[in-house]
Amino acid sequence: MFNLKFKTVKEFALIFRLKDISDFKPSPEQMQERMNWLAGIASQNKLADKGNTLLPFAANARTIQSNNVITDGAYTEIKEFISGYIVVKADTIDEAVEMAKANPIFDQVGGSIEVREVLQRD
Amino acid sequence: MTAVLCRHFGLVHIEVAEDIASDTFLKASEHWAIHGVPDHPTAWLYTVARNKIKDYFKRKSVFENKVKDALTPNEIEIEKDLEFNNQIIADSQLAMIFAVSSPTNSIEAQISLALQILCGFSVEEIANAFLTNRETIKKRLQRARNNLRNDNFQINGLTETDIKTRLDTVLKTLYLLFNEGYFSRTNSQLIRKELCSEALRLTLVLTESQLTNTPQVNALLALMCFQSSRLDARTGVNGEAILFDKQDKSLWDKTLIDRGNYYLVNACNGKEISKYHLEAGIAYWHTTPIKDNKWENILQLYNRLILIAYSPITALNRVFAFSKVYGNETAITEVEKLTLLESNYYHELLGYLYSSIDINTAIQHYTKAINLTQSKIEQKTLKQEIGRLLEIKK
CB contact under 8 A, A32 and B322: no
Q: What is the mean pLDDT of chain B?
A: 80
The pairing of strands A112-117 and A70-72 is unpaired
From the list B296, B307, B339, the residue facing A39 with the nearest CB is B307
pLDDT at B31 over 70: no
* Number of domains observed in the structure of chain A: 1
* Domain CATH code at residue A82: 3.30.70.1060
What is the distance between the alpha carbons of residues B382 and B377, in angstroms, rounded to a whole number? 9
Could you tell me what percentage of chain B is helix, strand and coil, using 3-state DSSP and rounding each to the nearest 5?
70, 0, 25
Residues B167 and B64 occupy one common structural domain? no
Write the pLDDT tens digit of every residue in B286-342: 988 877 789 999 999 999 999 999 989 899 999 999 999 999 999 999 999 998 998
Give the per-residue pLDDT at B71: 42
Residues B43 and B12 occupy one common structural domain? yes
Residue B161: half-sphere exposure toward Cβ, Cα within 13 Å: 2
Write the pLDDT tens digit of every residue in B380-392: 889 999 999 998 8
Residues B205 and B109 occupy one common structural domain? yes
Any A CB within 8 A of B299 CB: yes
Q: Divide the 122 residues of chain A into consecutive groups of 10 and give the mean pLDDT of each group.
A: 59 94 87 95 96 90 86 76 95 96 92 94 75
Give the per-residue pLDDT at B77: 43
Residues B341 and B389 occupy one common structural domain? yes
Residues B18 and B99 occupy one common structural domain? no
Cα dihedral B32, B38, B42, B47, rounded to 10, equals: -80
The strand pairing partners of A79, in sequence order, are none
Which of the given ranges, A8-17, B41-50, B72-81, B225-234, has the highest pLDDT on average?
A8-17
The SS3 of residue A62 is strand
Distance from CA of B140 to the nearest CA of A (A): 31
Is B12 within the bounds of a domain?
Answer: yes
Could you tell me what percentage of chain A is helix, strand and coil, using 3-state DSSP and rounding each to the nearest 5?
30, 30, 40
What is the distance between the alpha carbons of residues B198 and B119, in angstroms, rounded to a whole number? 7
Give the per-residue pLDDT at B14: 64
Q: Which domain holds residue B381?
A: 318-394
Residues B123 and B201 occupy one common structural domain? yes
Any B CB within 8 A of A97 CB: no
Any A CB within 8 A of B303 CB: yes
Is A110 within the bounds of a domain?
Answer: yes
CB contact under 8 A, B307 and A47: yes
Residues B105 and B201 occupy one common structural domain? yes
Any A CB within 8 A of B315 CB: yes
CB contact under 8 A, B300 and A44: no
* Domain CATH code at residue B328: 1.25.40.10
Confidence of residue B86 (pLDDT cuts 50, 70, 90): low
CB contacts of A44 in chain B (<8 Å) are 315, 337-339
What is the distance between the alpha carbons of residues A107 and A97, in angstroms, rounded to a whole number? 16
Inter-axis angle of helices B215-228 and B189-207, to 10 degrees? 150
CB contact under 8 A, A39 and B338: no
User: Which candidate, B200, B216, B211, places its Cα nearest to that of B269?
Assistant: B216
Any A CB within 8 A of B367 CB: no
Residues B337 and B359 occupy one common structural domain? yes
pLDDT at B285 over 60: yes
Write the pLDDT tens digit of every residue in B92-113: 777 777 888 777 788 888 888 8
Q: Cβ(B225)–Cβ(B196) under 8 Å?
A: no
Domain-terminating residue out of B158, B190, B213? B213
Report the residue of chain A nearest B333, measured CA to CA: A40
Confidence of residue B79 (pLDDT cuts 50, 70, 90): very low
Is A3 within the bounds of a domain?
Answer: no
User: Which candidate, B115, B206, B212, B95, places its Cα nearest to that of B155?
Assistant: B95
CB contacts of A32 in chain B (<8 Å) are 296, 300
Q: What is the reported pTM?
A: 0.75
Distance from CA of A67 to the nearest CA of B (A): 41
CB contact under 8 A, B299 and A36: yes
Residues B116 and B192 occupy one common structural domain? yes
CB contact under 8 A, B319 and A47: no
Residues B103 and B59 occupy one common structural domain? no
* Number of domains observed in the structure of chain B: 3
Any A CB within 8 A of B340 CB: no
Size of interface A-B (CB pairs under 8 A): 40
Confidence of residue B26 (pLDDT cuts 50, 70, 90): low
Interface residue of B278, B282, B293, B303 to substitute, partner A, most A CBs within 10 Å: B303
H or E segment and range at residue A11: strand A10-18
What is the distance between the alpha carbons of residues B18 and B56, in angstroms, rounded to a whole number? 13
User: Which candidate, B285, B280, B357, B289, places its Cα nearest to that of B321?
Assistant: B285
Report the residue of chain A nearest B297, measured CA to CA: A32
User: Which candidate, B151, B217, B147, B231, places its Cα nearest to that of B184?
Assistant: B231
Residues B9 and B70 occupy one common structural domain? yes
Is B103 within the bounds of a domain?
Answer: yes
Report the residue of chain A nearest B334, measured CA to CA: A40
The strand pairing partners of A10, in sequence order, are A90
Is B238 within the bounds of a domain?
Answer: no
Is B10 within the bounds of a domain?
Answer: yes
Vertex B172, ends B166 and B173: CA angle to 5°?
90
Give the per-residue pLDDT at B78: 43
Vertex B290, ends B288 and B296: CA angle to 5°?
95
Is B307 within the bounds of a domain?
Answer: no
CB contacts of A45 in chain B (<8 Å) are 310, 315
Any B CB within 8 A of A39 CB: yes
Q: Cβ(B40)–Cβ(B20) under 8 Å?
A: no
User: Which candidate, B243, B263, B279, places its Cα nearest to that of B377?
Assistant: B243
Residues B158 and B197 occupy one common structural domain? yes
Q: Which domain holds residue A107?
A: 8-117
Q: Which residues contact A49 (CB under 8 A, 6 or more apart)?
A: A86, A87
